[in-house]
Amino acid sequence: MSDLTDLTIAAARDFLAKGEVSSRELTEAHIKAMETQRGINAYVTETPGIALERADASDKRRASKDLKGAMDGIPIAVKDLFCTEGVLSTAASHILDGFTPPYESTVTRNLRDAGAVMLGKANMDEFAMGSANVTSHYGSVKNPWGPKDGKDLVPGGSSGGSAAAVAARTCLAATGTDTGGSIRQPASFCGVVGMKPTYGRCSRWGIVAFASSLDQAGPMTRSVEDAAIMLNAMAGHDPKDSTSAPIETPDFTATLGQGVKGLKVGIPAEYRMDGAPDEIEALWRKGTETLKAQGAEIVDVTLPHTKYALPTYYIVAPAEASSNLARYDGVRYGLRVEGGTLDDMYLNTRAEGFGAEVRRRIMIGTYVLSAGYYDAYYLKAQKVRTLIADDFRQAYETCDVILTPTTPSAAFAIGEKEDDPIAMYLNDIFTVPSSLAGLPGISVPAGLDAGGLPLGLQLIAPAFDELTLFRVAETLEEAIGFDAKPEGL
């Protein structure tokens, strides 16, 4: 048997089923890996006690042939944005100091109900605001592919801890959340698979809200098949979330292995950016050629409003965030910094409790919703958002799936771009448009840059067509055969 921490979920399930390994053994191996890899700071909270308890329970179920579901006994990491019952849940923010919810988010509840074993809470950008995992109150996460030229690299963000944890083999998979690219971009930077489902596929109940109309949970794994297996356990209609789609959840593994013959893959001209590194272009071309070689038809599509996506996103998301984060006021839970008056208490608590990037976005959001600016910013942004969604709708009249790079570059060094928010925001240039349109997207590791760092390709499918997305992604993954690993693993 190969190294227990280097398995896919699918392979681990087989070993468990054959009785060649127990969930306890699998879990202990990962607890050990978590300890060994503490240097990358992928976890805010490790929960080995809970993990072993759940692993033993899984083994017991297996012994009595009473398995819970498709993830039974599989050790995973959970992004700290998910509220987990009885376990510190902080969204990597100082303001949620000591916050231990008495409830379990629907997605992590679903995973528990499927038998998954939680190893710990993954580090992330504070309130999921960031693209480099440098805004966490618990410190930056280091990309396991680094250091490079003596410098530690960012894992991407905001699900940087989840991506790093999966890449460093400290868990078989992790949950992430994606608002403008927060699953796909760190997946690309860390050489793992990251999948954002259609908005409404997974319940947002119990996930600390960043931007409600965009936030969506998804799996981060080491294979496309694993992502489909894990999404099966995560997704489903939830009456507690009014925006959760009241539709049947298909078996997301159903189309795996079907290949891409007869499918049309759209290549959007607008994603060809001036000044983009050649290797990004080359990677995109490689992806295109690969799918063509597998029998897909390549078609040119146009998404004319792409260039407005980033500014639109940076109005809509902060606007919602400025309101969503108003509840962190020091009155009921988390951090409170006293003051002479109620207003002083608010000011002191929120000034100390929120980091610089969160404060920046609250201020942007407050500004764009203010009287006299609402029409020019928020309302205009909503109109552009509709146009962007229409772009995709029209493109899908001529193609089944769209292929783009995931990010405009590979991982960069910690400290870079930190004094230039716009440069930082540009990381999400390829992921934000589909987020605004609510579409499912996946990043598949597809190659290495000149410096040996992983790069991902993104596939985007029509709303609720995850089956096509997984089918194409798996074909791309198989054909490219990416098998590089961070050094030392």
Partner 1 sequence: MSYIVQGETGDWEVVCGLEVHAQAISKAKLFSGASVEFGAEPNEQVSLVDAAMPGMLPVINEYAVEQAVKTGLGLNAKINLHSVFERKNYFYADLPQGYQISQYLHPIVGEGTVVLDLEDGSTREIGIERLHMEQDAGKSIHDRDPRRTFIDLNRSGTCLMEIVSKPDIRTPEEAGAYLRKMRSILRYLGTCDGNMEEGSLRCDVNVSVRKVGETDLRTRAEVKNVNSVKFVMQAIEHEAERQIDVYESGGEVVQETRLFDSGKGETRSMRAKEFAHDYRYFPDPDLLPLRLDAAWVAKIEATLPELPDAKKNRFMRDFGLSAYDAGVLVAERETAEYFEAAAEGRDAKQAANWVINNLAGALGKLGLGIGESPVSAAGLGKLLDLIKDGTISSNIAKKVFEAMMETGDDPEAIVEAQGLKQVTDTGAIEAAVDAAIAAGENQVAQYKAGNQKIIGWFVGQVMKATGGKANPQTVNELLRKKLAG
Question: Applying CB under 8 A, does 205 fall inside the site for partner 1?
Answer: yes
Q: Which residue has the tokens 């916050």?
A: 99
Instruction: Please identify which residue in 103, 282, 420, 484 interacts with partner 1, judged by CB under 8 A.
Output: 103
Return the range that interacts with partner 1 (CB under 8 A); candidates 29-37, 65-73, 182-190, 238-246.
238-246
Q: How many angstroms separate the CA atoms of 160 and 136, rounded? A: 10
Q: Which residue has the tokens 């396991």?
A: 144
| Residues 314-333 interacting with partner 1 (rule: CB under 8 A) | 319-320, 322-323, 325-327, 329, 331-333
Instruction: Please identify which residue in 86, 139, 239, 451 interacts with partner 1, judged by CB under 8 A.
Output: 239
Question: Applying CB under 8 A, does 242 fall inside the site for partner 1?
Answer: yes
Of 78 and 187, nearer to partner 1 (C-beta) is 78
Answer for the pair 336, 349: CB distance below 8 angstroms, yes or no.
yes
Q: How many angstroms separate the CA atoms of 380 and 211, rounded? A: 17
Amino acid at 27: T
Question: Applying CB under 8 A, does 243 fall inside the site for partner 1?
Answer: yes
Angle between helices 466-480 and 224-234 (to 10 degrees): 150
Question: Applying CB under 8 A, does 414 fall inside the site for partner 1?
Answer: no
* Contact pattern from residue 50 through residue 89 relative to partner 1, giving x for each residue in contact according to CB under 8 A and a dash for the rest: --------------------------------xx-----x
Return the range that interacts with partner 1 (CB under 8 A); candidates 8-16, 204-212, 224-232, 447-455.
204-212
Of 177 and 458, nearer to partner 1 (C-beta) is 177
Question: Applying CB under 8 A, does 91 fall inside the site for partner 1?
Answer: yes
Q: Which residue has the tokens 């189309």?
A: 255
Return the range that interacts with partner 1 (CB under 8 A); candidates 188-196, 290-298, 338-346, 440-448.
338-346
Bridge partners, 404 (sequence order): 458
CA proximity to 101, closest of 118, 117, 81, 115? 81
Q: How many angstroms separate the CA atoms of 94 and 440, rounded? A: 32
Bridge partners, 195 (sequence order): 442
Burial string for 355-379 (b: 16+ CB within 10 Å, else e) reads bebbbebbebbbebbeeeeeeebbe
CA proximity to 194, closest of 233, 164, 151, 168? 164
* Contact pattern from residue 339 through residue 378 relative to partner 1, giving x for each residue in contact according to CB under 8 A and a dash for the rest: ---xx--x-------------------x--xxx--x---x
Question: Applying CB under 8 A, does 386 fall inside the site for partner 1?
Answer: no
Give me the residues that bind partner 1 (CB under 8 A), please: 82-83, 89, 91, 96, 99, 101-103, 105, 204-209, 211-213, 239-243, 319-320, 322-323, 325-327, 329, 331-333, 342-343, 346, 366, 369-371, 374, 378
